[in-house]
Structure 1
Amino acid sequence: MKYYERLVDLKCFSRSDVERLTKNKYTADSLIKEYKRKGYIESVRRDLFVAISMETKGPVANRYLIATNILRDNYISHHSAFEYYGYANQVFYEVYVSGGGRFVDFEYDNITYRYVAPRIEAGVNLKKDGVRVTDIERTILDSMNDFDKIGGLEELLRCLELMNYADEEKLLLYLEAYHKQVLYQKTGYILEHLKKQLRLSDNFFEVCKSKLKRSIRYLYTGIEHESNTFNKRWNLVVPRDLMKLVSKGVDVNADV
């Protein structure tokens, strides 16, 4: 138990972290084996360990801190970032991880950790609890870009409904970094329904609209095989029943 409290303080750690504690490679190897056998620590994946609470018998690190420590400069993103901020309608048994090194998806403690290649680099914060996570505006755009693969449109709308502000300058900065016309279209179309709630100006939507070209895009893959309609303002094919997906509290009378 000599090093147990130190490892609890670290929560997540690598073999090299243990070596720094013991100041000896062989002592570190023996300690890891002994502590794993006694249930003091568990292996999350190769060269990533977590301390186990003697009270709860569960990991002292939560899923978000574990995700941050998988590989150097990893951070949580997409729906997992919404969860971290408390804006998720439901909690998934998956954690989406971007940045840093790419890794093969794996499962630990009934949670699957999935790598998502980042599209842009900006908008990542290191929080006081040691978690690296995309900021709200980056999370909105990542989720907007990938909702047909992660979470779905309805869940995205319900997450957005829980928010009361978005920084439009950051949104425009990240949209420029993405440099995708269809993302301007999706963002303008969807966020216009939450314009008042998120306190977005008319100028924000005019900037988004100025990036549009003549090409018609689809809100999501497969919508061409569903009941849909064409939104002329955003040059976008959208579902006829979008408003039915939007929870109570969203301004369904927005001028779209």
Structure 2
Amino acid sequence: MPKTSKDECNERQGQFAAAEPYNRKQGQLSVAEMYNRKQEKLPIIEHYERMRELGCFSLQDITEMVGERSAVTYLVNDYQRKGYIDRIHRNLYTVMDTEREEPALTKYQIGSRLFPDAYIALHSAFEVHGYAPWAGNEVFVATGTRFTDFRYNGVFYRRVHPKVKASTEWVAGALVTSLEQTVVDSLYSFEGSEGLEDAVECIVRLPGLDADKLLECLERYGNGYLYQKCGYVLEQLQSYVKLPERFYRECREHCASTVRYMVKGAEGLVYHKGWGIYGPYLKAEYRDYEF
């Protein structure tokens, strides 16, 4: 049957629609078409190297790399599919080691890069410094940014409150609290007998502590009870920490005037008049400590 003028018109319209690269509603290239055309221009190696430099990054970071917000989603999906990057949590990503198929960063490096102000603290900091008797499957991240504790790659990332002007340093590619800051933070925040024991087991492994730096950390807290706890515990461990007498004298001058129980509800606590505190007798427990 010969084509009618209407059939020819429809055929011509169909050919035009198939060849048209523009979005009819917006009068511009569709997002997919824009990405496909620009994909050849996207320097994949350059982006991957930049991602390796950052270690962890957000969608905003990727937008700044690519320069086109419309291409970000497609690039992220493409990189994830190829194993270049992996999603950590919500808007956060990490670069992957394509040979090992594992994150290129350690769990501590990831934790200290989750947010601009993040750093590793408490037992995790002792781990990074190399003085923890064991390494757990959780990383304590100090940051002012609120986030719900989450698991990534078998590791729990737990938020703790950051300390004002905390003493930090870069160790093995991760920002962590200094040894002195870690000691003070741990003795401030431990919970129960097990928490105290965990802190003590790390402290007795330390190569030495700077008395002035300890006092600076204590001064930033400005907590009389913390002076009591730190003075008492470190004096019991004097054979390990070897601090000068002036440190303990300074702690006594700032001690709270009230008698405190160091581990509430624990048995075998002894009253130490010099510190006005009921606490365990640590020296007996660690005098024969073997490394």
TM-score (norm 2): 0.77
Say which structure is richer in helix: 2
Contact 1:218 1:237 in 2 (8 A): yes
Query: 1:1-256 residue pairs with structure 2 within 5 A?
Result: 1-2=44-45, 3-125=47-169, 127=170, 130-148=173-191, 152-223=195-266, 226-239=267-280, 243-244=284-285, 248=289
Q: What is the SS of the residue equivalent to 2:151? A: strand
- Bigger mean CA offset, 9-18 vs 54-63: 9-18
Amino acid aligned to 2:253: S
Contact 2:137 2:156 in 1 (8 A): yes
1:129 positional shift? 5.4
1:68 positional shift? 1.5
Contact 1:72 1:100 in 2 (8 A): no
Deviation per CA, 1:188-210, whole angstroms, max 9, x where unpaired?
11111332432310010011112
Q: What is the SS of the residue equivalent to 1:92? A: coil
d(CA) in 1 for partners of 2:103, 2:233 = 39
Q: What is the SS of the residue equivalent to 2:208? A: coil
d(CA) in 2 for partners of 1:238, 1:14 = 46
Amino acid aligned to 1:222: G
Amino acid aligned to 1:139: T
- Bigger mean CA offset, 136-145 vs 212-221: 212-221
TM-score (norm 1): 0.87
Structure 2: gaps spanning 5 or more residues: 1-43
d(CA) in 2 for partners of 1:172, 1:92 = 29
Q: What is the SS of the residue equivalent to 1:227? A: coil
Identity of aligned residues (%): 34
Pair 1:11–1:122, CA change in 2 (3 A)? closer
Deviation per CA, 1:136-192, whole angstroms, max 9, x where unpaired?
111100000111179711121111111121111111111122121211111111111
Q: How large is the Cα RMSD of the aligned pairs? A: 2.3
Contact 1:158 1:246 in 2 (8 A): no
Q: What is the SS of the residue equivalent to 1:52? A: strand
Structure 1: gaps spanning 5 or more residues: 251-256
d(CA) in 2 for partners of 1:246, 1:119 = 32
Pair 1:112–1:6, CA change in 2 (3 A)? same
Structure 1 outlier segments of 4+, above 6 Å:
none
